[in-house]
Amino acid sequence: MNAESNKSTEQSVAPPTDQAKPARRKFLTGAAAATGAAITGFPMISVAQSPIVMKMQGAWGAKDIFNEMAEEYVKRVNEMAGGRLRIDYLVAGAVVKPFEVTDAVNKGVLDAGHTVPVYWYGKSKVASLFGSGPINGCDAPQTLAWIYRGGGLDLYNELLRKINLDIVGYFAMPMPTQPLGWFKKPITDANGLKGLKYRTVGLAADLMQELGAKVTQLPGGEIVPAMDRGVIDAFEFNNPTSDRRFGAQDVAKNYMMGSFHQAMEFFEIVFNKKKHDALPADLRAILRYSAEAASSSNWWTAMDNYSRDFEELATKDKVNIVRTPKSIFDAQIKAWDVITKKLSDEDPFFKRVVESQKVWSKRVAKYMFFNEADYKVGYEHIHGKLGF
């Protein structure tokens, strides 16, 4: 539904006939005229404005906590829009498959989507740089700041124009580092990745292939069935809550925490550009600033749920949770160097985005490393040595 079809309308009775004009002029000399009251003698009948309705689909399975995070965004938009705009949220598969959300929004099949840039990485590997790309020294909150303050959003919009994606995107929720993932047997060094059938997405797929893994890219809802069928031997998705809800603990018992393969990521909230731009300016502002508000809300929801499920994976589900060995981190950094150089040599635009991130991280991360407290020392002072 477009903005034109939602303008308020008014209905009124037919105007007075010529024969009625003297009486009308006489009426105007009375108190009603002095007070500016209605002059027709009949009330105006107002028809309430219908809301503009936008259909948004997520890229997340029905049980995934990411749907709750999407709904936190939708709730903020709907409440602030005051009945003039309403987003109706649908889970993955309601209209299209998870990896098809961006295309559906681009074509107008959906009005909006809640997804991540790596899910359309097949159109351009640069997309992964706006979610999860080569390690650059920044964490997710610092890299999200690059998008909104360091020129990242301009580069993102340039990419959209280059590949003819007719969408508008907002970013939210700087995600914690994603675990290396779930393994039937824990690995002790990077050699354990060689020949392993492993699920990941985006540039992380390039990274793991560089380390010798055989990578399959799958949406979250397809991971456990693929593990059951032997299509994959190991996988990562995102976080303890999402993983636990779709049953990762039922197909593997070794959970390796920490990795550079997706050390930062964010949600991408996309709108069909024609439908977005047809909205009044104040409603467009609500769409943008609701993403910023949801970013904080999503983080709070994540900290509450991720930490609880992390504990219960160990205590209730008897999962062996271990920290990824430093040697794997070291191997990943070397592999990122190879991939970044290769892709930068092939694509000048890829190089521009990487260089922009480097300029940002050199300044921002340097400040943070000099200033941050040693939180682990504080934690162990209060709670004792970290571990289960």
**248 neighbors 191 (Cβ within 8 angstroms):** no
pTM: 0.85
pLDDT tens for residues 339-387?
999 999 999 999 999 999 999 999 999 999 999 999 999 999 999 999 8
Confidence (pLDDT) at 388: 86
Band (pLDDT 50/70/90 cuts) for residue 277 is very high
Give yes or no for residue 94 having a pLDDT over 80. yes
Cα distance between residue 135 and residue 264, in whole Å: 9
Give yes or no for residue 11 having a pLDDT over 70. no
**Mean of the pLDDT values across residues 46-71?**
90
Give yes or no for residue 22 having a pLDDT over 80. no
pLDDT tens for residues 148-166?
999 999 999 999 999 999 9
**Cβ neighbours of residue 346 under 8 Å, at least 6 residues apart?**
none
**Mean of the pLDDT values across residues 255-281?**
97
Confidence (pLDDT) at 33: 40
pLDDT tens for residues 187-217?
999 999 999 999 999 999 999 999 999 999 9
The DSSP element (H or E) to which 199 belongs, if any, is strand 197-199
Confidence (pLDDT) at 135: 82
Band (pLDDT 50/70/90 cuts) for residue 9 is very low
DSSP 76-125: HHHHHTTTSEEEEEE-TTSSS-GGGHHHHHHHTSSSEEEE-GGGGTTT-G
Which phi and psi (to 5°) does residue 383 adopt?
-110, -5
Confidence (pLDDT) at 93: 96
**Mean of the pLDDT values across residues 115-140?**
92
Torsion of CA 117, 121, 126, 127, to 10 degrees: -10
Band (pLDDT 50/70/90 cuts) for residue 2 is very low
pLDDT tens for residues 218-240?
988 899 999 999 999 999 999 99
Confidence (pLDDT) at 221: 86
Give yes or no for residue 5 having a pLDDT over 90. no
Give yes or no for residue 30 having a pLDDT over 70. no
Domain residue spans of the chain:
52-129+165-174+265-304
Give yes or no for residue 310 having a pLDDT over 50. yes
Confidence (pLDDT) at 285: 98
Confidence (pLDDT) at 48: 58
Give yes or no for residue 103 having a pLDDT over 50. yes
* Rg (the chain; Cα; Å): 27
**Mean pLDDT, rounded, of the chain:** 89
Q: For domain 52-129+165-174+265-304, is the CATH number 3.30.465.10?
A: no
Confidence (pLDDT) at 17: 40
